[in-house]
């Protein structure tokens, strides 16, 4: 019984840790999967004047993600949920200064 309790505690601790790690890296994971191909390092391989460096307004980033344009595809709520779009925008703001 003691062993089971210890195991269970370990499993719960590991699960909590993974959830926290995922939340911290979620923005980065979405960026790598959907944006980095055209915006490596916060740049822009298609239009050098439209980099995402130094952007501070998450609403502007999310608006661009939703509408696309100028060669960038639009990402709807199915491609990137509202919650993920916010996490993604926060990641861009804190990473590409």
Restricted to residues 50-69, the positions that interact with ligand HEC (CB under 6 A) are 50-52, 55, 61, 64-65, 69
Q: Does 72 bind ligand HEC (CB under 6 A)?
A: yes
CB nearer ligand HEC, residue 29 or residue 72: 72
CB nearer ligand HEC, residue 11 or residue 60: 60
Q: Encode burial over 6-23: b for 16+ CB neighbours within 10 A, e otherwise.
A: eeeeeeeeeeeeeeeeee
For residues 76 and 13, what is the distance between their CA atoms, to the nearest angstrom?
35
Question: What totals of helices (H) and strands (E) does the chain contain, helices first?
Answer: 3, 0
Where on the chain is the footprint of ligand HEC (CB under 6 A)?
Answer: 34-35, 37-39, 44, 46-47, 50-52, 55, 61, 64-65, 69-73, 75, 88
């Amino acid at each position: 019984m003691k062993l089971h309790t210890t195991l269970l505690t370990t499993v719960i601790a590991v699960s909590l840790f993974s959830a926290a790690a995922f939340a911290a890296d979620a923005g980065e994971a979405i960026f790598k999967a959907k944006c980095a191909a055209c915006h490596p390092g916060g740049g822009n391989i298609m239009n050098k004047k439209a980099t995402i460096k130094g952007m501070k307004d998450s609403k502007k980033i999310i608006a661009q993600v939703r509408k696309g344009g100028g060669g960038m595809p639009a990402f709807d709520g199915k491609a990137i949920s509202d919650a993920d779009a916010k996490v993604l925008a926060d990641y861009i703001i804190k990473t590409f200064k």
